Chain A
Amino acid sequence: MKAIPAKETRKLLFTPIIENNPIALQILGICSALAVTVKMDVTLIMCIALTSVITLSNFFISLIRHYIPDSIRIIVQMTIISSLVIIVDELLKAYAYEASKELSVFVGLIITNCIVMGRAEAYAMKNPPIKSMLDGFGNGLGYSFVLLVVATVREIFGNGTFFGVQVMPESYQVNNFLLLPPSSFIIIGIMIWVIRSFSKSQVEEDENPLKAHTFKPLTVKKEVQSG
Chain B
Amino acid sequence: MNKLIIPLVACIVCAIIVSVTAVSVRPEQNLNVENEKKVKILAAAGIKTDKVDEEFSKIKTVFVDFETDKLVTIDSAYDHIKAASNPDLSTLIPKADDIAVLKRRENIGTIYIWIDEKNAIEKLVLPIRGYGLWGTLYGYLSLDSDLNTVRGIEYYDHKETPGLGGEVDNPNWKSDWYGKRIYNDDGSVGLYVTKGASSTDYEIDGISGATLTTNGVSNMIKYWLGDNGYGPIIKNLNEEIKRI
Tell which of A76-84, A143-151, A184-192 binds the partner: A76-84
CA gap between A79 and B28 in the complex, in Å: 26
Q: Given B6, B14, B15, B18, which contacts A67 in the complex, CB threshold below 8 Å?
A: B6
Do B6 and A68 touch across chains, with their CB atoms under 8 A apart?
A: yes
Do A69 and B2 touch across chains, with their CB atoms under 8 A apart?
A: yes
Do B25 and A83 touch across chains, with their CB atoms under 8 A apart?
A: no
Contact of A95 with B6 at beta-carbon distance under 8 Å, contacts A86-B18, A90-B22 already known: no
Contact of A93 with B14 at beta-carbon distance under 8 Å, contacts A75-B7, A79-B7, A104-B162 already known: no
Q: Is A71 an interface residue (CB 8 A)?
A: yes
Do A94 and B25 touch across chains, with their CB atoms under 8 A apart?
A: yes
Interface size on A, residues (CB 8 A): 21
Do A80 and B10 touch across chains, with their CB atoms under 8 A apart?
A: yes
Nearest Cβ distance between residue A149 and chain B, in whole angstroms?
25
Nearest Cβ distance between residue A35 and chain B, in whole angstroms?
10
Residue picked from A69, A95, A105, most chain B C-beta under 10 Å: A69
Contact of A93 with B32 at beta-carbon distance under 8 Å, contacts A87-B17, A87-B21 already known: yes
Q: Given A69, A83, A91, A104, which contacts B6 in the complex, CB threshold below 8 Å?
A: A69
Taking CB as reference atom, which chain B residue is nearest A61?
A: B10
Nearest Cβ distance between residue A107 and chain B, in whole angstroms?
14
Do B162 and A69 touch across chains, with their CB atoms under 8 A apart?
A: no
Nearest Cβ distance between residue B47 and chain A, in whole angstroms?
18
Do A90 and B21 touch across chains, with their CB atoms under 8 A apart?
A: yes
- Count of A-B residue pairs with CB < 8 Å: 53
Q: Is A72 an interface residue (CB 8 A)?
A: yes
CA gap between A75 and B7 in the complex, in Å: 8
Q: Is B36 an interface residue (CB 8 A)?
A: yes
Interface SS, A side = helix
Contacts of A64 in B (CB 8 A): 6, 10
Do B18 and A72 touch across chains, with their CB atoms under 8 A apart?
A: no
Contact of A83 with B28 at beta-carbon distance under 8 Å, contacts A64-B6, A69-B6, A97-B36 already known: no
Q: Is B86 an interface residue (CB 8 A)?
A: no
Nearest Cβ distance between residue A79 and chain B, in whole angstroms?
5
Do B3 and A95 touch across chains, with their CB atoms under 8 A apart?
A: no
Do A83 and B29 touch across chains, with their CB atoms under 8 A apart?
A: no
Q: Is B11 an interface residue (CB 8 A)?
A: yes
Which chain A residues (33-78) contact chain B, with CB distance < 8 Å?
64, 67-69, 71-72, 75-76
Nearest Cβ distance between residue B244 and chain A, in whole angstroms?
35
Contact of A91 with B10 at beta-carbon distance under 8 Å, contacts A97-B36, A104-B162 already known: no
Taking CB as reference atom, which chain A residue is nearest B21?
A: A87
Sampled A-B contacts (6; CB under 8 Å): A64-B10, A76-B7, A79-B7, A94-B25, A95-B28, A97-B32
**9 closest pairs, A vs B, by CB?**
A94-B28, A94-B25, A83-B14, A97-B32, A69-B3, A87-B21, A94-B29, A93-B29, A83-B18
Residues on A close to B: CB < 8 A? 64, 67-69, 71-72, 75-76, 79-80, 83, 86-87, 90-91, 93-95, 97, 104-105
Residues on B close to A: CB < 8 A? 2-3, 6-7, 10-11, 14-15, 17-18, 21-22, 25, 28-29, 32, 35-36, 162
Extra pairs beyond A68-B6, A87-B17, A87-B18 (20, CB < 8 Å): A64-B6, A71-B3, A76-B6, A76-B10, A79-B7, A79-B10, A79-B11, A83-B15, A86-B18, A87-B21, A90-B21, A90-B22, A90-B25, A93-B29, A94-B25, A95-B28, A97-B29, A97-B32, A97-B36, A104-B162
